[in-house]
Chains A and B, each alone.
Chain A
Amino acid sequence: MIERFALWVDDRLGTAHFVRKALRKAFPDHWSFMLGEINMYAFIVLLVTGTFLALFFRPSATQTIYHGPYTLLDGTRLSEAYQSTLMLSFQVNAGLLIRQVHHWTALLFIAGIVVHMSRIFFTGAFRKPRELNWLIGITLFVLALGEGFTGYSLPDDLLSGTGLRIAVSVLLSVPVVGTWLSFLLLDGNFPSHQLIPRLFVAHVYILPAAIAALVAIHLAVLWRQKHTQFPGAGRTEKNVVGSPLFPNYAAKSLALFAMVLAVVVALGAFVQINPIWLWGPYVPWHVSSPDQPDWYIGWLEGALRLGPPWALHLWGHTIPSPFWPAVLMPALLFALVVFAPWIDALLRNDRAAHHLLDPARAAPMRTAAGVAFLVFTAGLTLAGSDDVQARYLHTDVISLVHFYQGFCTLGVILAFVVTYMIAAELRERERERAPARVRIRRNDKGGFEEEDLT
């Protein structure tokens, strides 16, 4: 059956050679190579569940009075966006399950991207010739952050409305063009009736289309360049050793897909997420305390808390304090990440193409930089919930702010130094321990010669 279909296609496109090669394509057998696939499957789940949600959600800020099964809000003024999310949660069969699966998958999607990128970074997989996919990957990460934030802002609940207020204030803080950008985005001052519909267009049309296109390119480049692999017997800079795509790798990958589905469906069923009916509808002068965003925005929230209270006044103009931690710092951080392949090549004085991965200890400087980066962003993320921690630790928020300011400066330097020392020590020990690797070969004249492999 499938053979006849393949012949039918080959008659028209001449694909036999390609298909045969593709089925036997080598996929290296290492668990960390499946991290990217988790994200691909998460994205598919997001598209499917999101399409379902979009059939019920109304992206409208028009105010209405709620009458529905959630009697605690009966008679409350709220937006159609919020009302339709309540309806979706309480009146559509399986609606809440799918909404929660969608939200959990979004959290997993971005977490998966972070872990996948960490794997790429710490093993040096971003080196030539894979800078291309590194850049595409970073773009995908930024788009995913945008998808996450726009999606979680859509229901127009008190928590997400507060987040939007902060986001618009950050936009306002941009020098010269900030006010214009914010008025163009909102069609006026905050709050605006245009915001939810525009976020909706970004969330369901622009961003998913961009992500889908870039995922396709990401995979095409991967296919063309072939996988990297860890060093090992029979593995060189010129080959890829692994399982054939079909049937071995395909079966494992499908198992992974099913497991990802099982995890997100179980989370959606058992672990409540974003119960917007508890937050209430967005009212500009209301706010809840504590007030935390989804995890992947936590580092910006924390940065805003740790940022210095400095405004810069220039010739009658102002650069307000949110600019430093929420615009300038993230811009510098992303610049570092974007240029990582070139900084790495420069520091290591190595512009050659690499297909064999470095174990983390083999490049102490790179590993230390990566750990410092993660410690910094983790510190910011933790600082984003300092008020909650203060309550449990019976301390005041200001002490915790000072603690995290120290953590994100001195702590990061310490993490860099310690990681560097550990990695350098491990590399040194490995060199000492490694037995001399020689290959003995018979030469043309019938004698033997030794080739040093270390």
Chain B
Amino acid sequence: MTPKERVIALFIVLAAAGSGGFIAAYFTGGSRLLEGVSLAGACAMFGAAALGWAFWIVPQEHVVDEVEGYPSQTIERMKQTNELTEVQHLVTRPVALVRLLAAALGVFGLALLVPPIRSLGTDPDETLFHTKWRKGDALTRIDGSFVRADQLNVNAVETVFPEHAIGDPMSVATLIRLRRGLLADAPDGYVVYSRLCTHAGCPVALYRKAAHELMCPCHQSTFNVLDDGAVVSGPADHALPRLPIVADAGGVLRATGDFPVPVGPGFWERP
């Protein structure tokens, strides 16, 4: 063997060793690092061997191809045009028939397309416009417990659901306790906003207590908690819906109705 062939031989031996190493690593515990290093090493060694082969063993030579075969010769192209024109003329002479057939095929195409598309899903429904919050629903945690007005400290935040729809992804809301007196219509300083961002529907889950802002971590839309969820900054185009609530005689926080407007991102049918 020449020195160059010896180098290539070394690469091949190492590639085989790497492959063997992979099998060994696999059967002795399956360490990802050992498996990876042996397999990647085997591939790299095969690559090196192939490179050596390409540049040292295979004779370097150049070939020249002609760009040919297209476009066809002018006479062929003319014959094609003529034949197409002729055939077209013969076949499509009854113009009314052609139009009728085209229309029928269109309807047939629709017939084939309608079931597989229409059966895919339901009509757009009420869930886009209304959540499951009803008048009198207690603000309920995911574990089923009601939130009472004396339970949260100022600046505390809770995730709440309607008591009859715990875990409903459209109804989920953020309860925040503000300093009392900061907002006139917040019972005991409590305010509730929809969790769904009005921009792209991500959970508006960051409360910046110093600024009294709710922020969406996806695209940084920011909503003013003291101003009915008005957009402060970011790409959201409308305010975060606020849920009207009261504290009942027993101190349980309850909704007085649904969100006044649809929650979540905008869509065509949204007024």
Contact = CB atoms under 8 A, between A and B. Distances in A.
Contact of A97 (B32, B54, B63, B120): B32
B266 interface: yes
A274 to B, nearest CB: 14
Nearest to B27: A93
B218 interface: yes
B167 to A, nearest CB: 9
A243 B199 CA distance: 55
A170 interface: yes
A166 B123 CA distance: 21
Nearest to A163: B218
A220 interface: no
A252 interface: yes
A176 B270 CA distance: 11
A172 B36 contact: no
Interface in A119-154: 129
Interface string A168-183: 1110111111111011
A173 B50 contact: no
A175 B268 contact: yes
Interface in A243-296: 243-244, 247-248, 251-252, 254-259, 261-263, 265-266, 268-270, 284-291
Given A179-B267, A287-B205, A187 B121 contact: yes
Interface stretch (A2-10, A301-309, A434-442): A301-309
B46 to A, nearest CB: 4
B117 interface: yes
B218 A162 contact: yes
Given A184-B120, A265-B43, A318-B268, A239 B206 contact: no
Nearest to B205: A287
A256 B54 CA distance: 11
Given A183-B124, A184-B120, A190-B169, A290 B217 contact: yes
B266 A321 contact: yes
Given A179-B267, A321-B236, A97 B200 contact: no
Contact of B218 (A172, A234, A291): A291
B159 A185 contact: no
Given A309-B235, A311-B237, A266 B271 contact: no
Interface string B192-226: 00010001111101100000000001111100000
Nearest to A245: B63
Given A94-B35, A251-B58, A269-B40, A226 B65 contact: yes
B36 A169 contact: no
Contacts of A194: 121
Nearest to A302: B219
Contacts of A177: 268
Nearest to B221: A309
Contact of A251 (B53, B62, B206): B53
B265 A262 contact: no
B50, B58, B67, B127 — which one has the most chain A CB atoms within 10 A of its CB?
Answer: B67
Contacts of A285: 159, 169, 172, 195, 203, 205
A182, A289, A306 — which one has the most chain B CB atoms within 10 A of its CB?
Answer: A289
A162 B64 contact: no
B231 interface: yes
Contacts of B200: 165-166, 169-170, 304, 322
A195 to B, nearest CB: 11
Interface in A301-347: 301, 304-311, 316-322, 325
Contacts of A290: 217
Interface string A76-111: 000000000000000001101100000000000000
B143 interface: no
A254 B271 CA distance: 60
Contacts of A288: 217
A317 B268 contact: yes
Nearest to B203: A287
A428 interface: no
Given A94-B35, A165-B201, A318 B65 contact: no
Given A26-B62, A94-B26, A224-B70, 16 more contacts: A26-B65, A162-B218, A172-B266, A180-B124, A183-B121, A188-B125, A237-B67, A255-B53, A265-B36, A268-B36, A285-B195, A287-B203, A287-B205, A304-B235, A318-B270, A322-B200
Interface of B: 26, 30, 32-33, 35-37, 39-41, 43-44, 46-48, 50-51, 53-54, 58, 60-67, 69-70, 117-118, 120-125, 127-128, 159, 169-170, 172, 195, 199-203, 205-206, 217-221, 231, 233-238, 264-271
16 contacts: A97-B39, A179-B269, A184-B120, A224-B70, A238-B67, A240-B66, A251-B53, A255-B48, A258-B50, A261-B47, A269-B35, A285-B205, A291-B202, A304-B199, A318-B267, A397-B220
